[in-house]
Amino acid sequence: MTLRPFHLAFPVRDIAEARAFWGGIVGCPEGRSAADWVDFDFYGHQIVAHLAPERPDEASNPVDGHDVPVPHFGVILEMADWQALADRLTTAGIEFVIEPHVRFAGQAGEQATMFFRDPSGNAIEMKAFADLGQLFARD
């Protein structure tokens, strides 16, 4: 089966702020838009920032010694692209919820990961695998 792009819509508190973050800092090209929403090309996938100033409380779960925000979304990048994004976010002064690091080192599913929030508080996890075959690996 050929992997198809996913579509994800998420709330933001301000459209201009979303454009500056997703388009400017993360580097996602902008697609269609209207006054209350804007599409972005998120590494070949379609994400849509929808104006929704009120947000519910966020939950979290422990994973490999870190408090992982729930809900969250992201994409799995090539390792070099993951490192370039980590560097770009660091240079931009983005505060990480979980700093860039390798999770499950030496175990099934070893992966590079980082968590950060967009200006509206949406939790984002970006991952990379040295071996993509580890994506669904189990012990």
pLDDT by residue (tens digit) across 92-121?
Answer: 999 999 999 999 999 999 999 999 999 999
* Residue at 1 is within a domain: no
Whether 106 is in a domain gets the answer yes
For the purposes of burial, counting CB atoms within 10 Å of the CB of 87, is it exposed (0-12), middle (13-18) or buried (19 or more)?
A: exposed
Residue 66 domain-assigned (yes or no): yes
Residue 47 has pLDDT above 90, yes or no: yes
Residue 42: inside a domain, yes or no?
Answer: yes
Domain encompassing residue 68: 7-53+60-134
The per-residue pLDDT for 58 is 64
Mean pLDDT of 34-47: 94
* H or E segment and range at residue 78: none
Q: Is the pTM of this model over 0.75?
A: yes
Name residues whose C-beta falls within 8 Å of residue 90's C-beta, 6 or more positions apart in sequence.
Answer: none
pLDDT tens per residue across span 60-91? 778 888 888 878 999 999 999 999 999 999 99
Indicate whether 2 belongs to any domain.
Answer: no
In the chain, how many domains are there? Answer: 1
Q: Where are the beta strands (DSSP E) in 64-95?
A: 66-70, 72-73, 76-77
CATH of the domain at 88: 3.10.180.10
Of 93 and 137, the structure prediction assigns the larger pLDDT to: 93
Is residue 48 domain-resident? yes
139 in any annotated domain? no
